[in-house]
Amino acid sequence: MTTLHNLTPQPIAFIGAGNMTQAIIKGMVAGGYPSDLIMATNPSRQKLDDLTANTGIHISQDNRAALAFAKVIVLAVKPQMLERVCAELPNEQIASCSFISIAAGVTVNRLQVMLRAPRPIVRTMPNTPSAISMGMTGLYADEDTPKALKDAAEFALNQVGEVLWVKQEDDINTVIAAAGSSPAYLFLFAEAMQAKAQALGLPTQDAKRLVGQALAGAGAMLIANPDMEFSTLRENVTSKGGTTAKAIEHFNQAQLTDIIANAMQAAVDRAVEMQSSM
């Protein structure tokens, strides 16, 4: 884990001051990164005003100010905006900068084309729980990428959760299937459980509370027991012949494991399809 103890803070600028940028910057400042070394740019003013009021960072409505301020630039706009944003940045400023991208589905090669130069790039794939500092981010950089840039990326994303470096860029698609999309799989599970609890007679709020707290508690147990197999955690709550065993028998009969594998493969296939159309 990269901490402020083994990182020399350098100016860093975020292009796009949306949800992810706000979460990362608030985390960085709370973690001790000097706010006067951070800038965010955004077309609309309100988000910038709120961000500087909360953190004291520099702000601008001009993306070129980001590249004048810092040599490390975080590209944090929606993927479909990225081409236009890069096209508007001057070549001579791009030539002296390194980039961290959090745009989903945009490959390093594609970014190099958008930037019109082979600049050092770290590609990252955060997930939605980053908004509450419980994120899981996959990171990829090729072997020529300077360590200082990788450290800066790891530090920034560490402020909103855990990070995992992958060795090959294609592995980012597995990160998407396993961590980027998976909060939604759990939400689907939660919806189905809530619906059945209500059908069995519980009021809506009670059903939501029961399911939400049970799943959050189970999720916390996954993290709290890193040396335990997930299957052991399951077995520990599954008494032979009991209620849990009966429910799990139904999941197995319905081949839940295959359903999940097929769903994750569909997510990977879609990620491949989307990155080739970006």
Ligand X SMILES: NC(=O)c1ccc[n+]([C@@H]2O[C@H](COP(=O)([O-])OP(=O)(O)OC[C@H]3O[C@@H](n4cnc5c(N)ncnc54)[C@H](OP(=O)(O)O)[C@@H]3O)[C@@H](O)[C@H]2O)c1
Residues that bind ligand X (CB under 6 A): 15-21, 41-44, 47, 63, 76-79, 81, 85, 102-104, 126-128, 130, 180
Q: How far is the CB of 258 from ligand X (least distance, A)?
A: 27
Q: Which is nearer to ligand X, 85 or 197 (CB)?
A: 85
The CA distances from residue 39 to 14, 76, 123, in Å, are 6, 12, 20
Q: Is the CB of 11 or the CB of 79 nearer to ligand X?
A: 79
Residue type, 28: M
Choice between 57 and 207, CB closer to ligand X: 57
Output the DSSP codes for 161-215: EEEEE-SSTTHHHHHIIIIISHHHHHHHHHHHHHHHHHHTT--HHHHHHHHHHHH
Rounded to a whole number of angstroms, the minimum distance from the CB of residue 12 to ligand X is: 15
Q: Which is nearer to ligand X, 77 or 156 (CB)?
A: 77
CB 127 within 8 A of CB 136: yes
CB of 88 to ligand X, least distance (A): 7
What is the torsion angle, in degrees rounded to the nearest 10, for the CA atoms of residue 21, residue 19, residue 189 and residue 271? Answer: -60
Minimum gap (Å) between residue 14 Cβ and ligand X = 9
Taking the least distance from each CB to ligand X, the nearer of 7 and 65 is 65
Q: Least CB distance from residue 124 to ligand X, whole Å?
A: 8
Of residues 100, 99, 101, 146, the one with CA closest to residue 275? 101
Which residues, listed in sequence order, are joined to residue 99 by a DSSP beta bridge? 73, 121
Name the residue whose CB lies closest to ligand X: 18
